[in-house]
Amino acid sequence: MNAPHLHRPLAALVLGLLAAQADGGAVTVNVTTPTGAAAGDAVVVFYPLDAAPAATRDSAVIDQINKKFVPRVSVVRTGTAITFPNSDRIRHQVYSFSAAKTFSLKLYAGSPKTPVTFDQPGLVVLGCNIHDNMIAFVGVVDSPYFAKTADTGIASLNLPPGRYRLRAWHPNAVAAPPSRDITVASAPLDIPLAIDVDATSTTVAAWLE
Amino acid sequence: MALRTRIAVTFLLLLAAVLAAALGAVSATNRANAEREVQRQLDVGVSVFSRLLESNRRQLTQAAQAVAADYGFREAVATRDTDTLVSVLENSGERIGAAMVVLTSLNGDVIATSGLHIKAGTPFPLSAEQRSGMTGDNATSLMVDNGRIYQLVTVSVRSPLPVAWIAMGFELDEKAARELAGITGLAVTLSVNSGGHWTDVVSTVPAGGVRQSDIVTRRIEMSRWGNAEVVAILSRSLADARAPFERLTKMLYLIAAISLFAFALAAFWLARNITRPLQDLTQAVDQIRGGAYDVTLNVERRDELGVLAEGLQLMQTAVQSRDQSIRRLAYEDSLTGVMNRTAFGAALSQALAGADGAPIAVAVINLDRFRRINEHLGYSVGDAVLTKMAARLAAVPSVNSAVARLAADQFAAFARLQGAQYLQAWGTSLIMALADPVFVEAQPIDITATLGLALATEDTASADEVMRCADLALEHARREKRALAIYEEALKPAARDQLSLLGELRRAVEHDELRLFFQPKVELKTGRVTGAEVLLRWQHPTRGLLYPVDFIPFAEKTGFIRRLTRWTLDHAIAQGARWQSQGLALGLAVNISADDIADLRLDSRIASLLTRHQLPPQLLTVEITESGFIEDPTRALRMLDAISALGVCLSIDDFGTGYSSLSHLASMPVDEVKIDRSFVQGLESDPEFAPVVRSAIDMGHGLGLKVVAEGIETEAAADRLRAFGCDVGQGYLYAKPMPLAVFETWLAGRERVPVVAVPVDFQTEDLSDTVTLALY
Domain CATH code at residue A91? 2.60.40.420
Are A95 and A59 found together in one domain? yes
CB B674 within 8 A of CB B695: no
- Kindly tell me if the per-residue pLDDT of B771 is higher than 70: no
- Kindly tell me if the per-residue pLDDT of A109 is higher than 80: yes
Angle at B133 between CA B131 and CA B136, to 5 degrees: 90
pLDDT at B565: 92
Are B620 and B686 found together in one domain? yes
Classify the phi-psi angles of B118: left when phi > 0, otherwise alpha if psi is within -120 to 50, otherwise beta. Answer: beta
CB A32 within 8 A of CB A192: yes
Of the residues A97, A104, A105, A126, the best mutation for testing chain B's interface (the one with the most B CB atoms within 10 Å of its CB) is A97
Are A167 and A114 found together in one domain? no
Q: Is residue A148 assigned to a domain?
A: no
Are B10 and B148 found together in one domain? yes
pLDDT at B643: 92
- Kindly tell me if the per-residue pLDDT of A21 is higher than 50: no
pLDDT at B493: 54
Q: Is residue B279 assigned to a domain?
A: no
Distance from CA of B164 to the nearest CA of A (A): 11
Are A77 and A100 found together in one domain? yes
CB B414 within 8 A of CB B363: yes
Touching B: A residues 106-135, CB under 8 Å: 125-129, 132, 134-135
B106, B133, B160 ranked by CB distance to A125: nearest: B160
Q: Is residue B690 assigned to a domain?
A: yes
Using a CB–CB cutoff of 8 Å, tell me whether B66 touches chain A.
Answer: no
User: CA-to-CA distance for A23 and A45, rounded, in angstroms?
Assistant: 19
Are B223 and B369 found together in one domain? no
Q: Quick check: B159 and A203 CB within 8 A?
A: no
Point out the least confidently predicted range of B37-41, B78-82, B265-269. Answer: B78-82
Are B481 and B513 found together in one domain? no
Q: Give CA separation, B443 vs B64, B368, B435, in Å.
A: 154, 18, 15
Query: How high is the mean pLDDT of chain A?
Result: 83
pLDDT at B498: 58
ipTM for the whole predicted complex goes beyond 0.90: no
Q: Is the dihedral of CA B555, B558, B562, B567 positive or negative?
A: negative
pLDDT at B249: 83
Q: Quick check: A126 and B160 CB within 8 A?
A: yes
pLDDT at B71: 84
B658-683 per-position pLDDT tens digit:
655 566 777 788 899 888 888 888 88
Query: How high is the mean pLDDT of chain B?
Result: 82
Query: Which residues in chain B touch residue A125, judged by CB atoms under 8 angstroms apart?
Result: 159-161
Domain end among B238, B267, B300:
B238
CB B628 within 8 A of CB B660: no
Q: Is residue A127 assigned to a domain?
A: yes
B227: pLDDT confidence band, cut at 50, 70 and 90?
low
- Kindly tell me if the per-residue pLDDT of B410 is higher than 80: yes
Domain end among B487, B516, B531:
B487
More confident residue, A62 or B637: A62
Q: Is residue A150 assigned to a domain?
A: no
CB B142 within 8 A of CB B223: yes
B129: pLDDT confidence band, cut at 50, 70 and 90?
low
- Kindly tell me if the per-residue pLDDT of B726 is higher than 80: yes
Q: Is A79 exposed, middle or buried (0-12, 13-18, 19+ CB in 10 A)?
A: middle
Q: How many CA atoms lie within 13 A of B619 on its CB side?
A: 24
Q: Quick check: A203 and B74 CB within 8 A?
A: no
CA A59 to chain centre: 13
Nearest CA in chain A to B71: A129
Q: Is residue B454 assigned to a domain?
A: yes
Q: Quick check: B162 and A202 CB within 8 A?
A: yes
Query: Which residues in chain A touch residue B78, judged by CB atoms under 8 angstroms apart?
Result: 97, 102
Q: Quick check: B158 and A97 CB within 8 A?
A: no
Are A58 and A31 found together in one domain? no
Structural domain boundaries, residue B364: 341-378+390-487
Are B163 and B53 found together in one domain? yes
Q: Quick check: B161 and A125 CB within 8 A?
A: yes
Angle at B332 between CA B327 and CA B335, to 5 degrees: 130
B106, B133, B160 ranked by CB distance to A127: nearest: B160
pLDDT at B772: 28
Are B477 and B617 found together in one domain? no
User: CA-to-CA distance for B130 and A173, rounded, in angstroms?
Assistant: 19
Are A64 and A130 found together in one domain? yes
- Kindly tell me if the per-residue pLDDT of B569 is higher than 90: yes
Query: Which residues in chain B touch residue A102, judged by CB atoms under 8 angstroms apart?
Result: 78
Q: Phi and psi for B208 in degrees, rounded to 5? A: 110, -25
Nearest CA in chain A to B131: A203
Touching B: A residues 132-151, CB under 8 Å: 132, 134-135
Are B417 and B545 found together in one domain? no
- Kindly tell me if the per-residue pLDDT of B119 is higher than 80: no
pLDDT at B21: 92
Query: Which residues in chain A touch residue B74, judged by CB atoms under 8 angstroms apart?
Result: 97
Are B513 and B632 found together in one domain? yes
pLDDT at B232: 85
User: CA-to-CA distance for B485 and B451, rounded, in angstroms?
Assistant: 6
Domain end among B238, B273, B305:
B238
Point out the least confidently predicted range of B131-140, B186-195, B564-573, B761-770. Answer: B761-770
Point out the least confidently predicted range of A182-191, B94-103, B293-302. Answer: B293-302
Are B666 and B625 found together in one domain? yes
Using a CB–CB cutoff of 8 Å, tell me whether A206 touches chain B.
Answer: no
Return the number of other C-beta atoms located less than 10 Å from residue B657's C-beta.
18
Are A90 and A162 found together in one domain? no
Q: For the sheet containing A73-77, what is the strand order? A: A73-77, A131-141, A122-128, A92-96, A103-108
A102, A129, A204 ranked by CB distance to B71: nearest: A129
Point out the least confidently predicted range of A200-204, B205-209, B430-434, B750-754. Answer: B750-754
Q: Quick check: A127 and B163 CB within 8 A?
A: no
Are A15 and A87 found together in one domain? no
Are B201 and B62 found together in one domain? yes
Q: Quick check: B163 and A97 CB within 8 A?
A: yes
User: CA-to-CA distance for B649 and B367, rounded, in angstroms?
Assistant: 35
B71, B134, B161 ranked by CB distance to A204: nearest: B161
CATH (domain of B563): 3.20.20.450
Q: Is residue B730 assigned to a domain?
A: yes
Angle at B586 between CA B582 and CA B592, to 5 degrees: 130
Q: How many CA atoms lie within 13 A of A107 on its CB side?
A: 6
More confident residue, B348 or B460: B348
Mean pLDDT over residues A178-205, rounded? 82
Q: Is residue B358 assigned to a domain?
A: yes
Interacting residues of A116 by C-beta distance below 8 A, sequence separation 6+: A81, A82, A83, A84, A101, A103, A105
Mean pLDDT over residues A8-36, rounded? 64
Q: Is residue A166 assigned to a domain?
A: yes
B148-182 per-position pLDDT tens digit:
888 878 888 887 887 888 888 888 888 888 888 88
Using a CB–CB cutoff of 8 Å, tell me whether B106 touches chain A.
Answer: yes
Q: Quick check: B159 and A126 CB within 8 A?
A: no
Domain end among A142, A170, A198:
A142
User: CA-to-CA distance for A15 and A58, rounded, in angstroms?
Assistant: 12
Mean pLDDT over residues B504-521, rounded? 89
Please give the full DSSP string across B444-511, using - where no structure is assigned.
Answer: EE---EEEEEEE--STT-SHHHHHHHHHHHHHHHHHHT-SEEE--GGGHHHHHHHHHHHHHHHHHHHT
Are B605 and B666 found together in one domain? yes
Query: Which residues in chain B touch residue A132, judged by CB atoms under 8 angstroms apart?
Result: 69, 158, 160
B43-99 per-position pLDDT tens digit:
888 888 888 888 887 888 888 888 888 888 888 887 777 788 888 888 888 888 888
Point out the least confidently predicted range of B201-210, B255-264, B308-317, B401-410. Answer: B201-210
Using a CB–CB cutoff of 8 Å, tell me whether B84 touches chain A.
Answer: no
Q: Give CA separation, B130 vs B65, B149, B157, B334, B388, in Å.
A: 15, 21, 12, 136, 148
Q: Is residue A36 assigned to a domain?
A: yes
Q: Quick check: A135 and B75 CB within 8 A?
A: no
- Kindly tell me if the per-residue pLDDT of B480 is higher than 60: yes
Nearest CA in chain A to B135: A202
Q: Is residue A147 assigned to a domain?
A: no
Using a CB–CB cutoff of 8 Å, tell me whether A19 touches chain B.
Answer: no
CB A137 within 8 A of CB A116: no
Residue A192, strand partner residues = A30
Nearest CA in chain B to A127: B160
Query: Which residues in chain A touch residue B161, judged by CB atoms under 8 angstroms apart?
Result: 125, 127, 135, 202-204
Touching A: B residues 575-604, CB under 8 Å: none
Q: Is residue B108 assigned to a domain?
A: yes
CA A203 to chain centre: 18
pLDDT at B92: 82
Return the number of other C-beta atoms located less than 10 Å from residue B96's C-beta.
16
Q: How many domains does chain A have?
A: 2
- Kindly tell me if the per-residue pLDDT of B137 is higher than 50: no
Q: How many domains does chain B have?
A: 3
pLDDT at A18: 46
Using a CB–CB cutoff of 8 Å, tell me whether B133 touches chain A.
Answer: yes
Distance from CA of A120 to the nearest CA of B (A): 17
Q: Is residue A103 assigned to a domain?
A: yes
Structural domain boundaries, residue A182: 1-43+157-209
Query: Which residues in chain B touch residue A107, judged by CB atoms under 8 angstroms apart?
Result: none
Interacting residues of B87 by C-beta distance below 8 A, sequence separation 6+: none
Q: Quick check: B161 and A202 CB within 8 A?
A: yes
Are B483 and B504 found together in one domain? no
A16: pLDDT confidence band, cut at 50, 70 and 90?
very low
Size of interface A-B (CB pairs under 8 A): 36
- Kindly tell me if the per-residue pLDDT of A62 is higher than 90: yes
Q: Is residue A173 assigned to a domain?
A: yes
CB B718 within 8 A of CB B739: no
Q: Is residue B316 assigned to a domain?
A: no
Distance from CA of B32 to the nearest CA of A (A): 56
CATH (domain of B363): 3.30.70.270
Q: How many residues does chain B have?
A: 776
Q: Quick check: A203 and B162 CB within 8 A?
A: yes
Q: Phi and psi for B732 in degrees, rounded to 5? A: -65, -20
pLDDT at B131: 55
B628: pLDDT confidence band, cut at 50, 70 and 90?
low
B134: pLDDT confidence band, cut at 50, 70 and 90?
very low
